[in-house]
Structure 1
Amino acid sequence: MSRSPPQIHAGGEPTENGMKQEEEEEEGADEEDLDDELDASQLERFIRDRRRAKSLPAYPALLNGPHGAEEGRKRVKFADSMGLSLARVKHFSSLEEPQIPSKVLSRHRSFPLEQQDLLSSLCHSFAAGLRADLPELRDTERRVQRHRVCLERLAATQLDVRGHVRVLSGCAGKEVGVRYTFNGWLSHMDAQAVPVAANEPGLVGERFAFTVYIPPLADPGSAVHLAVYLKCEEGEFWDNNEGQNYTVRYRCVPGHAPFVSAAFHAT
């Protein structure tokens, strides 16, 4: 750094004021150099801090102490650095039975039995079945000629009710089906019947078949009411058992066969 020459009087020696001015200029230059060094160090520290992300400490008050920054800093250790595995894999096989803790089993046994469980336990010695409450279907030819449609056959299986419908031939644009209800005609549904090939000689009319699926968990005493119909261009014709409807009831009868849940036994 260039310095101004001291002021010299005629005698050739520097004066006292000139010496003081020179010292002040040297002190000012030293302070400027120190400020430049501080600015450079602060800039370097700022750049280094920007590269390394820091999170807010959990207890900022600890940083106010002399060793707060060192004591409040968190240290992270990885499992592999301590000889442990980073992941644990459990393989399950469908051939192995699950190991249920005894606490879970004891808690499950302490629950009271539900109503459905009580009903299942009660019916272990009973056989569930469907019984058709209808007269023997006879004189099919006479009934089909009288009503143009009649129920010819009805059978109950474990999960459904199936039947045959006989209709009079010669009806154009006919639609044959069955209307049924599970709640005493509060609501009803229709199921369409499909034609069945008949190889019987002299068969009067045409034969159709239908299937009505029964709810698997019907209550004892519940019933299915149904009636068959024929819709054609000439009108709408019904066979409803002379106004009484055809009925299939669910029942429990004593037997030695084991109870099958959610299913019916044919009668």
Structure 2
Amino acid sequence: MAYADRISDLARTLAQYPTSVTITGSKIDIRTAKQLESLNAQISNDQSLARDGDTLIAAGSGKDAKALSQRIADAAPQVGNLLAAFGAQDAERFKTLSIMSKQKFDASAASRLQAEKRFADEVAKLMMQESQAVSALPTSPCGPKPQPTPTPTPSPGPSPSPSPVPSLDDVIASLPGYLPITIPDAVAGYDADSLAIASKAAGDAAIKLGVKTPDGITDYAIVYFTNGPETFDPKSDPQWAQEIIADKSLGTIDDRLAILLNASKAQQQSPDTLDTPSQETVPGQED
């Protein structure tokens, strides 16, 4: 395996993901120019080390194999460390965003951020593999080694079957037991029978809305009981809830319900945040 080429392939794949998004007409950087400069510099450093390792592996030996192996191992986690540092910077950058805009940004930026995480993990794995391969090289050329006699390997046993995904009806049926544990205050006024009836109504309404996943059912139910069923009525307030539900750019209805639940929790902590229009400042566009 040419490790440097593999890292280059991964870098080209990562570069295909957008580094900015447009939220309510304003461009917001997922990665600032300075962050991209730092990331590209680290990738170039990793590629250079990997090329040195590839050269020694191709030669079959090298007097500085041990030292190079250590440098490659030391560099393996650096992309991940850099991304972690970016996360701290981003938390500061996005303080001026309203909750609504931050929710939309998170949804739009998810594919890029997930791609970065995969890239960092894969690069770290490749470099650790190369470090081990370089470390095993002799420090001076030697003749061909005798081939070891292959030993039979035991056949792997059957892998465990994945846990079955519960049906939506099963999830709805479990709500009367789930909700008192998850949101006890919101359902404290229900007895067992009335909670069962209300849970069935909430579950049926979620399916009618288009929910397709168990998480979508539970997210809907939590908002339904915490904020009230009127949250899902297009003719009722709060308007921010209706905007999230109607905004198809945020993903599937299940994705939007997850965002709505997070926004609902934030609104409970700061009730005026979502109901009052804010004059927000877009990071990177301050006066």
TM-score (norm: length of structure 1)? 0.20
- Quick check: which one's strand share is greater? 1
Asked which structure has the greater CA Rg, the reply is: 1
Higher RCO structure, 1 or 2 (CA under 8 Å, sep 6+) = 2
- Quick check: which one's helix share is greater? 2
